Every structure is written in structure tokens, then in C-alpha cells.
Amino acid sequence: MDMSQHSISGLFEQLGLDGTRSGIYHFVKEHNIPDDVTIDEASFWSASQASFLKDSLESDGDWSEIVDQLDAMLRK
């Protein structure tokens, strides 16, 4: 069992994005998810990123809590 703690920075890196504080800030500032769209359906994800997000939420896996945090950050 993986007992490591995941972070928002780690999630960004898992998604192939800049996981630095500045990178996260700029990504969140430039992207927004409408209320009627789930995080994995947002138009700015690649197919593999969307699949990872969807799988993480559906399986209620290790990353699900951090994906929920990112979802909240992207809803302004």
C-alpha cells in the first residue's frame, strides 16, 4: 500500500505540468472550469490527463483528495 502523502505540486507533476508554486498559480489563473463541467471534461486537458483525473476520482484512489482540491481551485 502506498502510504505517501500526495500534494498539489505532485499532482501537477503527475499531469506533466509545472509543479512549482509559480507554475500552479499561473495555470489556475489561466484556466477555469464552468459549473456544469466535471474536472475531467475540461477542454484544456489532454486525453491522458483527463483519463488520469477521471480514474482518480472514480476509484477514490490516492490522488482523489488532491484532484478535488484542484477542482475547487479551478472554479472561480
Report pLDDT digits (tens) over 27-54.
999 999 999 999 999 999 999 999 999 9
Please state, in angstroms and rounded to a whole number, the distance separating the CA atoms of residues 27 and 3. Answer: 28
Question: What's this model's pTM, rounded to 2 decimal places?
Answer: 0.90
Q: Tell me 63's DSSP state.
A: T
pLDDT at 4: 62
Residue 76 — very low, low, confident or very high, per pLDDT cuts 50/70/90? confident
Residue 3 — very low, low, confident or very high, per pLDDT cuts 50/70/90? very low
